[in-house]
Structure 1
Amino acid sequence: MHSCSPDPYDKDVTSMKAKQELKRCATELQAVGLEIHSTAQTIINASTNNKTGIVASALREFVESFGFYIDFKQRDQKLIIPTLCIKEGKEEKWRNFIAWEQLGLTGISYKFNSYAYFLKRLVCSVQDIQMLKSKNIIVADEDFGISAQKLLALFQIITAGAENMDNRYSAMCTQLNAVKQHGVPVTGWWTMKWHHSQRLLELLGPRIRYTIKILFRLLFSKYIRDTWMLLKVGAATFLLHYYSDHLHIENHYAPAGH
């Protein structure tokens, strides 16, 4: 199945130690003026070849509308990425293909792991996921509960344990990392500030919620041990607020000299 998936790079690649070559996410690339587009891919037709028909039919579920060729048109400042369809069970299949590649067998390329490393940096936040979904670069089946948060987690951990990849995207990543700002600088600056703030909220959000949960648990376990105590605290808070307002009104409208 791995060998039957289309590989436009074929033999023009060499293996290397796995590392993160891309240094910018989708939002950062767009902020410097780069255009990101999706490209249609040809679905494998199982009926065209009787010898490979069974394999191609089984592979159709995974490689559906997907190709490994990423095209960066440097002159036009356009990045064209194939559409990736995410369906139930795809994570397991993708992990299996990456594990198969790590065996280092002759004639087996590292196309799945190399592409996974590219996506890992291309999407660093939910904002990146939403942007790529809006451009039909990522198509997720929400009927199976594949949310943007789950997709982000998938792309961040899918390469865990993989030690080898190939250099199919090395030259392109170097070019993307070196793209200079063009267009309206202010727009790019505000986009980056908004992106970084959103990413910070995504990172701190779970910790803030966890801290609030612990504080409430401590409050209820130590100071508010039953329903009556909760009612007493609520009533005391209300009365304190009521009398403070009443006292403020009396002092405000009191006659001069009193």
Structure 2
Amino acid sequence: MVFDGCFLLELLICESKYDSELPIPFNGISPGIEVKQMDYVISDLMLLDNQIPIYILEILFENLLGSSPQMRELIQNLALPVFGFSLKLMVKSTFHFLDIAYSYMEMGWIDKKIEENVKDNKLTMQNQNLNRCATRLKAVGITIQLLDINKNFISTTEFNKSRRILKIPKLVIERTTEALWRSFIAWEHHKKKLKIGSSSVVDRRSICTSSAILFSDLICCTGDVQLLKDKGIIVDKSEKSNRDLVAFFHSIAKGVDRDIIDSNHIAMFNAMNTISSANYATKVFILLHHYFCKVLDWCYNVHTFFKRGYNFAFTIAGFLTLIQTCYAIVAYHFPKKQ
């Protein structure tokens, strides 16, 4: 852990904008500059099982570079540029790098008007699933729009029932998105269950978990993925196919505890589930196209299943065995009269 802590300190200090706040200014060429350009290394630093407590870095910082006032705040601000964040962190204390990144994103949610959790008891008794996918929402007259094109995954989803408009923030899918998203979800579950964290707001909001469930419920086939791509909500830089993205979103939400969804998302889900259709003629046309896409996806999945290994041969053998068993049962219970 000491070796890992020294590596992290080197990574934080090299090319830092806070040299004036360091007890010993750093003026040298460091291999950390090249490491910062490796996306997979930065992604690994965000995994929940790779976290090193901040107090370990504080002890190493003091022994190697000398003491500094507000050392934890300094380490937090040194870490933010490593993960691509620019502003200073307003939270006084965090536990590790994952908590630093999550607290930074959380500042965007704190700036908005956050309702108190008074209605949570009533809302948790309601449906916590969105029963309509993106195409079905379009069929009932709900317009899906991009929310704040300058932000990625910081803004929260908004739904205006009177205007029938659902606004979703842009989600850029890169090679490291899955690992980061899963880490944030795990951290939200941890903070929600154990009631610990750097901010009390997290006890009321679980945006990453709620967003994972939202996208999983919005997408049931490749047509839904293409619809969200056309709206600019999903930007795929990982070069996945639409079918792979369907599996990606479903796997992200698999095993997620829906009891920690925040009250705003539960209310939004119930509003979209109960809204009536605006134009039945348009609804029928859109749904026919939607079911056609689902049939094509099903045929593709069956084709893929039969192409994998000896699945086709095993299926034929199993089918013939079933027929033979049925004939044997019929012959036993209904023998031919001689």
Q: Shorter-normalised TM-score: what interval? A: 0.5 to 0.7
The 1-side partners of 2:256 and 2:133 are apart by: 21
Identity of aligned residues (%): 27
Q: 2:129 aligns with which of 10, 17, 21?
A: 21
Secondary structure of 1:36's match?
A: strand
Task: Point out which structure has higher relative CO (alpha carbons under 8 A, 6+ apart).
Answer: 1
Counterpart position of 1:87: 174
Shift of the 149–9 alpha-carbon distance from structure 1 to 2, 3 Å rule, reads farther
Secondary structure of 1:139's match?
A: strand
Secondary structure of 1:81's match?
A: strand
User: Following TM superposition, by how much is the alpha carbon of 1:115 offset from its aligned partner in structure 2, in angstroms?
Assistant: 1.2
Shift of the 20–190 alpha-carbon distance from structure 1 to 2, 3 Å rule, reads same
The 2-side partners of 1:111 and 1:202 are apart by: 30
Residues 41, 67 of structure 1: 8 Å contact kept? no
RMSD (Å), alpha carbons: 2.7
Residues 156, 207 of structure 2: 8 Å contact kept? no
The 1-side partners of 2:239 and 2:161 are apart by: 37
Residues 131, 217 of structure 2: 8 Å contact kept? yes
The 1-side partners of 2:156 and 2:307 are apart by: 46
Counterpart position of 1:247: none
Secondary structure of 1:40's match?
A: strand
- Larger of the two Rg values belongs to structure: 1
Structure 1 unaligned residues grouped into runs of 5+: 44-64, 219-258
Amino acid at match of 2:244: K
Amino acid at match of 1:194: H
Q: 1:74 aligns with which of 142, 158, 161?
A: 161
Whether 2:139 is the aligned partner of 1:39: answer: no
Residues 38, 135 of structure 1: 8 Å contact kept? yes
User: Following TM superposition, by how much is the alpha carbon of 1:170 offset from its aligned partner in structure 2, in angstroms?
Assistant: 1.2
Within-5 A mapping of 1:101-120 = 101-103=188-190, 104=192, 105-106=195-196, 107=200, 108=202, 109-120=205-216
Per-residue deviation, residues 222-257 of structure 1 (Å, max 9, x unmatched) = xxxxxxxxxxxxxxxxxxxxxxxxxxxxxxxxxxxx
Counterpart position of 1:245: none
Secondary structure of 2:104's match?
A: coil
Q: 1:3 aligns with which of 97, 103, 122?
A: 103
Structure 2 unaligned residues grouped into runs of 5+: 1-100, 315-338
TM-score, length basis structure 2: 0.52
Counterpart position of 2:230: 134
Amino acid at match of 1:174: N
Secondary structure of 1:154's match?
A: helix
Within-5 A mapping of 1:147-186 = 147-163=241-257, 164-183=260-279, 185-186=280-281
The 2-side partners of 1:161 and 1:215 are apart by: 28
Residues 128, 266 of structure 2: 8 Å contact kept? no
Shift of the 155–12 alpha-carbon distance from structure 1 to 2, 3 Å rule, reads farther
Amino acid at match of 1:2: Y
TM-score, length basis structure 1: 0.66
Secondary structure of 1:79's match?
A: strand
Residues 218, 224 of structure 2: 8 Å contact kept? yes
Per-residue deviation, residues 130-187 of structure 1 (Å, max 9, x unmatched) = 010001011111xx3222222211110112232233222111111111111113x222
Secondary structure of 1:100's match?
A: helix
Within-5 A mapping of 1:192-203 = 192-203=287-298
Shift of the 153–209 alpha-carbon distance from structure 1 to 2, 3 Å rule, reads closer
Secondary structure of 1:37's match?
A: strand
The 1-side partners of 2:219 and 2:312 are apart by: 34
The 1-side partners of 2:311 and 2:149 are apart by: 52
Residues 39, 81 of structure 1: 8 Å contact kept? yes
Secondary structure of 1:181's match?
A: coil
* Structure ranking higher in helix proportion: 2
Secondary structure of 2:146's match?
A: strand
Shift of the 117–215 alpha-carbon distance from structure 1 to 2, 3 Å rule, reads closer
Within-5 A mapping of 1:199-238 = 199-211=294-306
Per-residue deviation, residues 68-113 of structure 1 (Å, max 9, x unmatched) = 4222122221111111111111100000000111112333342100
Residues 20, 117 of structure 1: 8 Å contact kept? no
